[in-house]
Amino acid sequence: MFEFIGMILTSFNRTWIVSDSRIEVSVKDAAKRGSLVNMKNSQNGVKNTLKFRLATGSSLELEEFRAVSIKKLLYVWDDVSQSFIKLAGLDKGVSTAELHGYNGFDTHQQFLRQVVYGNNEIIAPVESILKLLLLEIFTPFYIFLIFTLCVWMCENYYYYTVAIIIMTVFGVSSSILQTRTNQKNLHDTIASAAMVNIYRGEDSYEEVPSTTLVPGDIIIIPSQGCEISCDAVLLNGNCIVNESMLTGSDWPAGSSVLGPVRPQISRICALGPKSPSLLGVGDVQQQGVIGARRQRERNHTSSMIRLAVSRGCNWSGECVPVTKTPIPCQAAIMFDSREDAPHTLFCGTKVIQTRTHGSTLVKAVVIRTGYMTAKGSLVRSILYPPPADFKFDQDSYKFIGVLAIIAAIGLIYTVIMKSEKGISPGDIAIKALDIITIVIPPALPAAMTVGKLYAQNRLKALNIFCMNSRVINVCGSLNCVCFDKTGTLTEDGLDMWGVIPIESSQFKSPLRDVSQLSLGPLLFGMVSCHSNTIIDNKVSGDPLDIKMFESTRWILEEPEFTDTSRYGIHVSSVVRPPQSSLEHNTE
């Protein structure tokens, strides 16, 4: 709180003139201090206006602005609301048509935005030994321990005092070194920098460091894949993405293009009068998206729409249904971070493969950088965990409070009894304080520190690193553990139990063998409404999608190209029924 007030007080008497030659100074100081940033070109004296968006969804277009940085996020002063509002990327108040309208920035436009958004980097701080020491010992337990040791030294009680000091120094130093090691590991884990190819407009491309990316840049995703260094939305093409860094799941998830939808129903080529032989995967997906993703604009429901979902993962690693289909490119449809996550490449994830038509490059528009990204939010949650008053700590302080009351009674009794015997005031004070040190165990902090250190080492042996050792004691008091469903930890895969078809708005009997389904919307939806693709001659995708498709016994086919960037999943992927099913339906 005091740091925040101090930044505000220092902000209103500082003016920064931003120019190309002072980018290092201006960006760093403007982000760390609450500074008045002036968008002025030092060469010709012409002021530039910059439009940026706030977390409320509103936008500002200013020549100068005031901002403060709190917990790695920038807050901009809004004259209308007379308050600081968190700076946002292109994920607030932006339509899908606006995202498609970005055509890249030149170097000057990119520089102006970099002044506001800062460098696209996520750096976990590594605290100094002195700071960690002060944070460790300035607690009620250690303060009381220092007081106790001083009393014992005055009583010439050396042996036990030295033993407590040695144990405390060992416990504190080990805890500090372990914490610093964990901070270094976190710093090295999240640190990443690479060269990125960006689009400058008018068929101009440039390779730049990923740290210079800003919201609105157009990046090129290479066909051989890469690690994404920002949050970006696909503008064309398809990507197979491994999101294990964020979700904990190593199953690849497909991200589809954020583009216009063709409303026509897919064409089915028939070998016979009643049986289809070829079915385009993407067309049925696109037909389903009209009702599945935009029910607020259309009242269109069908069994095929309810099937047009595939399973993805949220940041906790738990799988949740998400739509894996393109969305309309319309000015009336606003981009939504949660709904449009299937079309978003998140920072820290790895693109395994890209696909598009012909020689067209796969492009994505940057919407968030730095600590505003999904990876940045994850790192911020580690660096700044929400304050919590653990019941263990509360009970500990209550226990100390009860002992303090008992010690106070003993102190009063000792003072009275020693005074009646004519003992000197100095000796009375030492004996009275000694009562307090006996009632409240002075070795408790050292014992707790050694216990936490031992627990940390056991966790480290399992590659589990603990940034906040306080929670270890809380975990030791657990007596009940609940799981959400059976098989979460004991089984790797999924099994398809069966389906319950619907006919004339009525449920039919469950069908365990899905391959026996008659040709219809339910079967067509199961074989086409998914994000499966062929990687190394093997069907890959979400495990739920794979199980659903395999249960039908249909065959997924994709044309083979030497260059993976020369074909698109929504026109070239084909599913075929098994030959036995085809012969059965043509009879």
Give catalytic residues, as residue numbers: 484
- Name the one residue in this structure whose structure tokens are 């012409």: 46
**Cβ atoms within 10 A of the Cβ of 279, count?**
21
- Whether residue 315 contacts residue 382, with contact meaning beta carbons closer than 8 Å, is answered with no
Angle of helix 158-190 relative to helix 129-137, nearest 10 degrees, comes to 130
Do strands 35-38 and 15-17 pair parallel, antiparallel, or not at all (unpaired)? parallel
Token pair, residue 446, equals 């050292």
Give CA–CA dist 152/436, Å, rounded. 11
Give CA–CA dist 499/502, Å, rounded. 10
Residue 501's alpha-carbon distances to 33, 302, 496, in angstroms, are: 62, 12, 15
User: SS3 breakdown of the chain: % helix, strand, coil, rounded to 5?
Assistant: 40, 20, 40
- Whether residue 112 contacts residue 105, with contact meaning beta carbons closer than 8 Å, is answered with no
Determine whether 191 is exposed, middle or buried from the number of CB atoms within 10 Å of its CB (0-12, 13-18, 19+).
exposed
Token pair, residue 99, equals 């995202």
Listed in sequence order, the DSSP H helices in 85-228 are 96-101, 107-117, 129-137, 140-154, 158-190
| Cross-strand bridge partners of residue 364 | 219, 234
**Cβ atoms within 10 A of the Cβ of 261, count?**
18
Give CA–CA dist 354/70, Å, rounded. 37
Give CA–CA dist 357/571, Å, rounded. 9
Give CA–CA dist 88/577, Å, rounded. 48
